[in-house]
Amino acid sequence: MNRIHSQTDWIARAREVLPAAGFGNFDASIVIARGDGARVWDEDGNEYVDYLIGSGPMLLGHGHPEVMEAVLEQLPRGMTFFANNAKGIELAEAIARAVPCCEQIRFVTSGGEADMYAIRLARAYTGKPKILKFEGGYHGMSAEAQMSLAPSRQVNFPEAVPDSAGIPQGVADEMLIAPFNDLDAVASLLAEHQDIAAIIAEPLQRIIPARPGFLQGLRDLCDRHGVLLIFDEIVTGFRLAYGGAQERYGVVPDICTLGKIIGGGFPLAALGASAEIMAHFDKAVVGAEKWLMQLGTLSGNPVASVAGLKTMEILRRPGQYDRLRELGQSLMDMQSAALTERAIDHRICGDPTLFDIYFTDADPVDYRSARHRDARINEIWNTALRTNGVFKSPGKLYPSLALQSADLELTRSAIQHAAKSVSEHRMAPL
């Protein structure tokens, strides 16, 4: 008989074989055993309403029966081929129909890969070396993306600060950093530097919304200076709307990256652009010197493709995005009401489809202003939520379409407990 291992046992085993006892993604003190719908269970059997949802991919929830059926139908036909397959081609067609900037698609396995290739593609197309990114913007784990992602020290713009060891200075020299939501800063950099290939931006930077006119302003500045605009839609694609941020905000980039939802919970991501730009992946069209080599063992994997196709089919059904926004707004409102009742300063930041709280009395507009007045309050808040059955990231909450009324009621109760804990912390003597 197999011995049943407790969560403590698994954590001890993880310490032996995993640096920092984890995968590098999330709090290593919790080990998830299974998920179903809007719920997950840890290895001790504790049950939670899941607002992490795999960091975004499980928009339909865990184990959606139609997605499971599609995957189980594909499995006996083959799990991966390294060659073209019909389901991958169908998925590329569906993405191209949905996303305004995408005439052609190239698949990869992770969002970080997609962003890395998007940057390289912009350089190949323009022949220019520099990339402008926004402080605090997350674009994966490439050397370029690790510039000023979460800098612990403030420097003058546009200096780039590496957030990881092992990155050569030469990478920083080719990166320019600007504050998010500051068109004047971007305009100044574009006027000063004639060798910028692209601006890469999250249309919703983590959970910080773009100010009205900011994204269109980026589009106009790029057109004026002959610079490509890259939207990192790994998170926002098929979440803010079926056509992503491009549909939601009405601004079309030159290149975009997609991930998470398009794989239906399996490892799959993509980048897309016009046929003219994407021609750099075709040596026969652009020649050896302008060709961008790209391959990946699992790119366009058929199992991930059928999961993505079914997920996208479900999302096209009437009312899905209205319901997602209603759920998200309800979660926003119940948190704001509980905190307001106890006179706790806060800002709900983001979009109903993706948001969280900053414990502050100022509106976050960029990386430097997106701060809790007291970081301990956020820690208390999130600890109380988890203790009372809500599973989420410390800085982000993802609603899913799997949420039911019982999930919302459990969440409401957890929020009341969390607000009480924060209030007691504020009243405690120093």
CATH of the domain at 90: 3.40.640.10
What mean pLDDT is predicted for residues 194-201? 98
Position 83: which residue type?
Answer: A
9 occurs within a structural domain: no
Please identify which of the residues 51, 117, 125, 138 carries the catalytic annotation: 138
Show which of 315, 342, 372 is a domain's final residue.
315
Asked whether 127 and 345 are in contact (CB, 8 A), the reply is no
Instruction: Please report the sign of the dihedral spanned by the C-alpha atoms of residue 52, residue 58, residue 64, residue 68.
Output: negative
Show which of 278, 298, 315 is a domain's final residue.
315
Same domain, 143 and 184: yes
Same domain, 123 and 222: yes
Please identify which of the residues 130, 133, 260, 310 carries the catalytic annotation: 260
Q: Quick one: what percent of the chain has pLDDT higher than 90?
A: 97
19 occurs within a structural domain: no
Distance of alpha carbon 357 from alpha carbon 337, whole angstroms: 12
Using 50, 70 and 90 to split pLDDT, how confident is the model at 4? confident
Express each pLDDT in 107-141 by its tens digit: 999 999 999 999 999 999 999 999 999 999 999 99
188 occurs within a structural domain: yes
Show which of 270, 300, 315 is a domain's final residue.
315
User: For the chain, how many structural domains are there in total?
Assistant: 2
Same domain, 310 and 371: no
pLDDT of 324 > 60? The answer is yes
Residue among 294, 274, 272 at smallest CA distance from 283? 294
Same domain, 39 and 181: no
CA dist 39 → 34, 49, 108 (Å): 9, 5, 29
Give the pLDDT score at 429.
59
Distance of alpha carbon 95 from alpha carbon 262, whole angstroms: 8
296 occurs within a structural domain: yes
Same domain, 136 and 80: yes
Which residue(s) pair with 269 in the sheet?
A: 108
Note if 260 is an active site residue: yes
282 occurs within a structural domain: yes
Please identify which of the residues 42, 50, 232, 351 carries the catalytic annotation: 232
Same domain, 291 and 333: no
421 occurs within a structural domain: yes
Give the pLDDT score at 286.
97
Give the pLDDT score at 203.
98
Position 184: which residue type?
Answer: D
pLDDT of 391 > 90? The answer is yes
pLDDT of 2 > 60? The answer is no
Same domain, 221 and 295: yes
Same domain, 125 and 248: yes
pTM (two decimals): 0.96
* Summary mean pLDDT of the chain: 96
Asked whether 242 and 317 are in contact (CB, 8 A), the reply is no
Using 50, 70 and 90 to split pLDDT, how confident is the model at 428? low
Counting other chains too, the contacts that 279-287 makes at CB distance below 8 Å and 24 or more residues apart are 280/121, 280/124, 280/125, 281/106, 281/121
367 occurs within a structural domain: yes
What mean pLDDT is predicted for residues 344-371? 97
Position 274: which residue type?
Answer: S
Neighbours of 104 (CB within 10 A): 18
Using 50, 70 and 90 to split pLDDT, how confident is the model at 153? confident
Residue among 157, 122, 159, 117 at smallest CA distance from 139? 117
Note if 138 is an active site residue: yes
Same domain, 310 and 342: no
Same domain, 161 and 276: yes
Distance of alpha carbon 219 from alpha carbon 228, whole angstroms: 9
Which residue(s) pair with 426 in the sheet?
A: none
Same domain, 49 and 97: no
Give the pLDDT score at 1.
42
Instruction: Please report the sign of the dihedral spanned by the C-alpha atoms of residue 83, residue 87, residue 88, residue 92.
Output: positive
Q: If you write DSSP's letter for every residue of 391-406 in order, what string do you get?
A: E-BTTBB---TT--HH
| CATH number for the domain that contains residue 397 | 3.90.1150.10
User: Which domain, by its residues, includes 116?
Assistant: 65-315
Give the pLDDT score at 231.
98
Q: Quick one: what percent of the chain has pLDDT higher than 70?
A: 99
Residues 6 or more apart whose Cβ sits within 8 Å of residue 235: 56, 202, 204, 260, 354
Alpha helices in 238-346 (DSSP H): 244-249, 275-278, 283-286, 302-315, 320-341
What mean pLDDT is predicted for residues 325-348? 97
Same domain, 112 and 176: yes
6 occurs within a structural domain: no
Q: How far is CA 68 from the centre of its chain?
A: 23
What mean pLDDT is predicted for residues 381-403? 97
Note if 366 is an active site residue: no
